[in-house]
Amino acid sequence: MQVLTRMPSQDNEVDYRRVQRQRTGDLQAGRIQRIFDISRYGCQIESNDLTDGSNGQFVEIDFGSLVTRAIIRWSDRARLGLEFTRPLGSAQVDTLLNDPAQIRLRRL
């Protein structure tokens, strides 16, 4: 399923909480058990590896076809809200949605 949206330009200030997110299905991969949503700016995951993750902590996410860094913005038990340190491209988000691979998460 391809969703066409108008992405904000880099010149404008972006309110990341208001960016349209795309829901994912349940992904059973690696030690991350579920990705709830993903956008160019971050994702929400459930991870048994980082149940003690703290706000502001940097992590590396290996999506298989893409490795990126993120900051934990909030955590609630095993559920984490992550903000990517660099926004993903729209094509990268589409690839992750259409071709889920094994995912790994590690602290930096």
The 10s digit of each residue's pLDDT in 6-60 is 444 444 565 655 555 545 444 444 455 677 789 999 999 887 766 667 889 999 9
Name every residue whose Cβ is closer than 8 Å to that of residue 65 and which is 6 or more positions away in sequence. 95, 96, 99, 101
Residue 5 has phi, psi (to 5 degrees) of -135, 160
Question: What is the tens place of the pLDDT at every residue in 67-83?
Answer: 999 999 998 878 889 99
Q: What residues does each domain of the chain span?
A: 22-107
Gap between the Cα atoms of 35 and 32, Å rounded:
8
Please report where in the chains the tokens 């703290």 appear, as a residue.
54
Task: Dig out the tokens for 53 from the structure.
Answer: 């993750």
CATH class as words, domain 22-107: mainly beta
Question: What is the tens place of the pLDDT at every residue in 90-102?
Answer: 999 988 888 767 6
Gap between the Cα atoms of 53 and 65, Å rounded:
24
Parallel, antiparallel, or unpaired for β 22-23 and 32-38?
A: antiparallel
User: What is the band of 64 on the pLDDT scale with cuts at 50, 70, 90?
Assistant: confident
pLDDT for the residue 8: 47
Q: From the centroid of its chain, how far is CA 95? A: 13
- Whole-prediction pTM: 0.68
